[in-house]
Amino acid sequence: MLSYLRHIQSIAGWGYWGSSPAITQSPYVETKHNARCTPELLELPLLNTDLSLPILPPEIVELIVRYAAQPLHPPDHASYEEYLKNRKKQWQRLGGVVSSTKYYRHVLVKKWFAVVVLHDHSDWDRLMDPGWMGGLQSSVCVVLAAKGALISSPRNRTNTDVLMGFNSLSRVSLDYHNDFLRSGPSYPYYQLITELPRSLEVLEILNAHGPDEHIIKLASRCCPDLTELRLGRCTMFNNRNCVWWKAHPADHDAYMADRGVEAYAGAVGNLIENMPKLRVLHIGVYLTPIEAVWAHRVDHRRLHPIPDVMRHENPEGIHNHLHQVALAAASGEEPEPPVNYHYPPLAKQEIWDAPCSECDRHFKGLVIANYLVCVVYVSWTSRLKRLGSQTETWRPG
């Protein structure tokens, strides 16, 4: 269908509020009639582009254009890898429609700018420049901020109220991986965003290190119409090289524990009391004992797809921590924390991606207590098939 839409240039001469030309009979009506009367499957002839096409009402063509633009909209939640990889290709695919009429170009340009993807902290300045978007800021409904878009470094820190410049935002996905300050050994938490638009209906946080409480309180204070809240965390399973875990090798129980589940559910329930419209909640914690990690790495080795290295190795070209500090100082960067040899290095992604029947048998996901009474759909990270990425769902009541 898209390949034929390039011929809708003939519609450009219509008056959109006038009468449309009479619809001519398709040259393929007789062929279709015969196909219904014969048991054999017939190959439809190729479209002869020299023939005049049937004229559709502009309302129908607009529906077709809007349907064709659906791939420009992101999936309902992360991961966005495939979407980001193919987004520009989808726009190029619509090139024929874009060049057909000014009206359809305007429709598709608004669809394109309805979703804004930011990869770098400098992208915010360009986005807020009225001249860059040509007055289309009000068309922005979805913001996807990738890992480098929100920065806590004092040298180029992102404004914490940067989202308040968009009055029509309904959905935001923020990579929160920089939610701490690299100052000395303490690495204190840092709030990357302190204000959210009241229009927001869906909020997704990815790769956070700080407590969920901060985000829930922020959403509760700013977003009365929020219907969906997704809280994703940086973990040993999705980011083994994260500098935070190098500095806090003993803190993985912050997102992985089977004790105190009822108290945790009760605390979350209290925090979302001021979100009467909330219907979907994803919690980025594992309701599985931390012992499951070491059981899988030590006791289930025969099921591993690759050898699990349990000793620390210096990066290539780095002799020791002092050497690493000197290299970081020379480049103006913060050095990584020294290796804590009391803890083994985190396992590679392949160790967690492979299914493990022993883990399924011993550590199947727990059921959360019935505390979140206002929520229709709850999900949380669970060890079912793949410890690092699988989620378990539950419907209250």
12-21, 190-199, 316-325: least confident range: 12-21
Residues 99 and 190 in one domain: yes
Residue 254 has pLDDT above 70, yes or no: yes
Confidence of residue 20 (pLDDT cuts 50, 70, 90): very low
Residue 245 pLDDT: 92
Residue 371 has pLDDT above 60, yes or no: no
Distance CA 54, CA 27 (A): 9
Among candidate residues 178, 203, 202, the one with its CA nearest the CA of residue 191: 178
Residue 17 has pLDDT above 60, yes or no: no
Does the residue 26 lie in any domain? no
Residue 369 pLDDT: 37
Residue partners of 72: CB distance under 8 A and separation at least 6: 87, 90, 91, 108, 111, 112, 114, 115
Does the residue 71 lie in any domain? yes
The answer to whether 179 and 208 are in contact (CB under 8 A) is yes
Residues 243 and 320 in one domain: no
Does the residue 110 lie in any domain? yes
Does the residue 103 lie in any domain? yes
Q: What angle do CA 289, 295, 299 make, to 5 degrees?
A: 165
Distance CA 107, CA 341 (A): 58
14-23, 99-108, 201-210: least confident range: 14-23
Residues 107 and 192 in one domain: yes
Residue 163 pLDDT: 94
Residue 13 pLDDT: 33
Tens-digit pLDDT profile for residues 68-123: 888 888 988 888 888 888 888 888 888 888 888 888 888 888 888 899 999 999 89
Residues 164 and 272 in one domain: yes
Residues 71 and 140 in one domain: yes
Residues 217 and 336 in one domain: no
Residue 204 has pLDDT above 90, yes or no: yes
Residue 285 pLDDT: 85
Does the residue 374 lie in any domain? yes
Residue of 129 and 305 predicted with greater confidence? 305
Does the residue 256 lie in any domain? yes
Residue 225 belongs to domain spanning: 60-291+368-394
Residues 333 and 378 in one domain: no
Does the residue 72 lie in any domain? yes
Total structural domains in the chain?
Answer: 2
Helix (H) or strand (E) holding 175: strand 171-175
Tens-digit pLDDT profile for residues 306-338: 999 888 776 655 556 565 556 555 665 666 777
